Amino acid sequence: MAERLSNREGIRGMINPTRYGILRVAYWLQRLSGLGLLAYLIGHIYETSTILNGKTAWANMLSLTETPGGHIVLVIVIGMCVFHTGNGIRVMISEGGKGVGKPGQPEYPYRASSLNSKQRLCIWVSIALAALAMMYGAGVLFGN
Amino acid sequence: MRESIIMKIHYGTALAAVALVAVHILMRMSQKFSDSLSYQNVLANYHFLPYALMLEVILVLLSVHGFNGLRVILLELKQGATYEKAINYGSLAAMAVLIAYGSRTILMAGMGTS
Amino acid sequence: MATVTVPEEKKIDESPAAPAEPKPTTITLRISRVNPSENAEAKFEEFKVPVQKWTTVLETILHVKEKLDHSVAVRYSCRQASCGSCGMKINGKPRLACYTKISELESNVVTVEPMNNFQIIRDLAVNFEQLFSTHKKMKPFIINEESEVQPGTKEFIQTPQDLEKFLQFSYCIKCGLCNSACPTMATDKSFVGPQGLAQAYRYTADNRDKGKEDRLKIVDQSHGIWRCHFAGSCSNVCPKGVDPAMAIQLLRGYLLGFRK
């Protein structure tokens, strides 16, 4: 009851990337890619540990991961990695107070200078780089 | 530990990991991708001490960064003293387990016990 | 001797009539109705309301109160985006009802709901207790022992440049729209929120103030400034151009050592 009355949007509101512009989309993608990369890291560490069980165990693991499905997962991981890096660097620089504009007298219609074109460009560049890296990765993986 | 120190570690591990993971990926790209994953080739990587050390550093950096990121997300999802304590210590424990498990692979493969 | 001529009586030109006022169109206003004291679930009630192109959302709600259902609960006061009372979710986004024209929503159906992340009192009225208490925690006043009011002390001189460093953030009307849009506030009930953090920066950036260390200590907590991830939603909805996202990043610059 108390939780309902607090009227918090909850997880559904937090993960909703619409309504508030590209920075909110970037926030959502950053979280999603971060969780995906952590899952991959855990999987990758388990995957590589099979080398301790000998050549056959390693070959068995490769037969699972070196498949079209495994390659698609890897291509997605490449995309997440590049976007998380690019956007992460943007966020890091911004969180230091750089690139968010200068305080001044707000003028109607009050466009926030922290949501400036540089920020938006960096996000689009991160997305574009992720797409390029995915295409290159797909070429390498499926070209073999 | 103050939150600002934790977050400085978060940023530092991210920047260092970006540089080292790039080297790690470039090593895979220095030859045909499927060849780079051959049993002998991967073992040779572990036997090459500088590379094995770099893998260990990447393991520590990414575990710290990844589990701190997860801690942040979980802290924002739910609040309460017991829950927050569990998340803080749980993330540290998960970090330690993942580092220990990965280090075991690097150490044993590097020493040729496989 | 001056002579005064009385002007002849002017004939009133009756030929071209003044352009008639455009006919009002009718929209459907959907109002979220909930009364927590009666433990009832929220439901929407629909009203047909005539609007002109300049009609604001608040005016349509007041039309409903006046002519259709006087029991609708809404908080408002100045009707000119100065008091910060009429914040609500309008077609899914937090806005000031007095500052949002129906015509700019480009829809014949307008849905109004209470702001998210605030406790509902009734219908569209929400409780601001948490916002005001976090605002107070940020010490929203000049901290300086050499107060201007002490006898024998000089006034504080500020240049226009000094003023510009914080002026923008002092325009906050505490309407709560930023807290309602913030993704962290959606799940984290302990988070200070963009409004409080922006005000912490407003006073920290004021060169008359000596309370920087105090405020940085307050915001450097596990549910403080680090729970902001620069999603920019707060600045996206701010009706006064305060840009809380900028203030938060500038404040964080002190903690990261990028600013002195």
Which residue is closest to A49 within chain B, CA to CA? B105
In CATH terms, the fold of domain C129-140+158-256 is: Fumarate Reductase Iron-sulfur Protein; Chain B, domain 2 (1.10.1060)
CA dist list (Å): C234 to B3, C100, C202, C243: 23, 17, 16, 7
Nearest C-alpha in C relative to A107 = C241
Provide the shortest C-alpha distance from residue B32 to chain C (in Å).
Answer: 39
Q: Domain extents for chain B?
A: 3-110
Q: Pick the more confident residue, A54 or C154.
A: A54
Q: Categorize the per-residue pLDDT at B1 as very low, low, confident or very high, splitting at 50, 70 and 90.
A: confident
Enumerate the β-bridge partners of residue C93: C90
| Mean pLDDT on A19-30 | 96
Q: Per-residue pLDDT averaged across A33-41, rounded?
A: 98
**pLDDT > 90: percent of chain C:** 80
| CA–CA min distance A38, chain B (Å) | 6
pLDDT value at residue C93 = 96
Per-residue pLDDT tens for A106-121? Answer: 988 899 999 999 999 9
| Residue C21 pLDDT greater than 80, yes or no | no
* Interchain contact A5–B (C-beta under 8 A): no
pTM: 0.91
Q: What is the pLDDT of residues A82-109, one digit of tens each?
A: 999 999 999 999 999 999 999 999 988 8
Q: Which residue of A has its CA nearest to C129?
A: A6
Average pLDDT value for residue range C191-214: 96
- CA C125, C129, C135, C139 dihedral sign is positive
Domain range list for chain C: 25-127, 129-140+158-256
Class of domain B3-110: mainly alpha
Quick one: pLDDT band at residue C157, thresholds 50, 70, 90? Answer: confident
What is the spatial distance between Cα B43 and Cα B109, in angstroms, rounded to a whole number? 7
Q: Is the pLDDT of residue C221 over 70?
A: yes
Over 60: is that where the pLDDT of B18 sits? yes
Comparing C-alpha atoms, which of C106, C128, C124, C104 is closest to residue C61?
A: C124
pLDDT tens digit sequence for B48-97: 999 999 999 999 999 999 999 999 999 999 999 999 999 999 999 999 99
Lowest mean pLDDT among C23-32, C121-130, C236-245: C23-32
pLDDT class of A75 with cuts at 50, 70, 90: very high
**pLDDT-derived band of residue B30, with 50, 70 and 90 as boundaries?**
confident
pLDDT at residue C14 is higher than 70: no
CATH topology of domain A2-99+113-143: 3 helical TM bundles of succinate and fumarate reductases (1.20.1300)
Distance CA(B75)–CA(C221), nearest Å, equals 12
Domain ranges of chain A: 2-99+113-143
Record: contact B76-C227, CB cut-off 8 A: yes
Q: Does position C10 have pLDDT exceeding 60, yes or no?
A: no
| Interchain proximity B79–C190, CB inside 8 Å | yes
**Chains touching chain C, criterion 3+ CB pairs below 8 Å:** A, B
C-alpha span between B13 and A70 (Å, rounded): 28
State ipTM.
Answer: 0.94
Q: Does A143 touch chain C (CB under 8 A)?
A: no
pLDDT at residue C1, as a whole number: 47
Calculate the average pLDDT of chain A. Answer: 93
pLDDT in tens, C190-201: 999 999 999 999
In this structure, are residues B109 and B41 in contact, taking their beta carbons and an 8 Å threshold? no
> C25-127 in CATH: which number?
3.10.20.30
Q: Alpha-carbon distance C199 to C203, whole Å?
A: 6
